């Protein structure tokens, strides 16, 4: 499968060529004729129409990643809502960009760890929040595990969960690991989906 990089500017992104030596810089109009279902396409956030570009590429069967110079949870969520499977800082190390592509091409979701908690919280609310949560899925958890799981899907980081529950961050990680094992999920985003009415499986880049 081919890898394309779509940008309104010139080939100015310092690390994308190093990360993807096989990638081709291409204009939005040109990619429509070249795109094959399953191709990986990186879209740079350098125009107001980037969400529409991502949505169109997604509809045509591309695995889409979004690059930005100013990552934010709101923009990350907008990228995912538009159909992107990845959201990365344009100045990320080449190895990290390659890891992101690997996740994207394997039907996973890649978002920087520092933004994942906020994106998870937004996804939880978009899927109905606590009002539509499958409470039966929490039946096998201890009281403290349940509290950690609920805080996590609401969008709190491990540090914030520790502060809210007056426990150490290490304890939060231990409880979260137990929650993942008991519920058969790998990460925060899968936890959200496990507790929501949908059964779609999604992966992310962090715990």
Which residue, 111, 135, 157, sits at the end of a domain? 111
Q: For residue 42, what is the domain's CATH number? A: 3.40.50.2300
Q: What is the mean pLDDT of the chain?
A: 85
Q: How far apart are the first and last CA of the chain?
A: 29
pLDDT, tens only, 137-177: 888 999 999 999 999 988 888 999 999 999 999 999 999 99
Residues 26 and 100 in one domain: yes
Residues 107 and 128 in one domain: no
CA 119 from chain centre, in angstroms, equals 7
| Helices 169-183 & 188-195 angle (0-180, nearest 10) | 50
Let me know if 8 is exposed, middle or buried by CB neighbors in 10 A (0-12, 13-18, 19+). Answer: middle
| Rounded Cα distance, 45 and 130, in Å | 33
pLDDT at 11: 54
| Domain ranges, residue 120 | 116-195
Residues 104 and 42 in one domain: yes
pLDDT, tens only, 19-36: 888 888 887 778 878 899
**64 confidence band (pLDDT: 50, 70, 90):** very high
Residues 11 and 88 in one domain: yes
* Integer CA distances (angstroms), 179 to 36, 116, 184, 205, in order: 39, 18, 8, 18
Residues making up the chain, counted from first to last: 207
pLDDT, tens only, 132-148: 777 788 889 999 999 99
Residues 40 and 124 in one domain: no
Domain count across the chain: 2
Which residue, 82, 111, 140, sits at the end of a domain? 111
pLDDT, tens only, 65-99: 999 999 888 898 899 889 999 999 988 999 999 99
Q: Is 146 a member of any domain?
A: yes
């Amino acid at each position: 499968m081919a890898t394309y990089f779509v940008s309104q500017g010139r080939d100015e992104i310092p690390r994308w060529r190093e990360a993807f030596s096989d990638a081709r810089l291409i204009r939005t109009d040109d990619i429509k004729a070249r795109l094959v279902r399953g191709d990986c396409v990186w879209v740079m956030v350098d125009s107001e129409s980037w969400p529409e570009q991502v949505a169109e590429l997604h509809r045509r069967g591309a695995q889409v990643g979004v690059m930005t110079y100013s990552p934010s949870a709101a923009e990350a969520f907008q990228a995912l809502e538009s159909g992107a499977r990845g959201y990365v800082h344009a100045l990320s190390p080449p190895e990290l960009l390659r890891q992101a592509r690997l996740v994207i091409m394997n039907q996973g979701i890649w978002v920087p760890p520092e933004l994942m908690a906020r994106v998870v919280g937004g996804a939880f609310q978009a899927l109905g929040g606590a009002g539509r949560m499958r409470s039966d899925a929490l039946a096998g958890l201890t009281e403290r595990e349940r509290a950690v799981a609920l805080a996590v899907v609401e969008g709190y980081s491990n540090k914030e969960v520790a502060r809210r529950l007056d426990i150490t961050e290490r304890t939060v990680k231990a409880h979260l690991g137990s929650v993942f094992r008991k519920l058969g999920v790998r990460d925060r985003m899968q936890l959200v989906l496990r507790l929501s009415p949908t059964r779609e499986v999604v992966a992310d880049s962090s715990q």
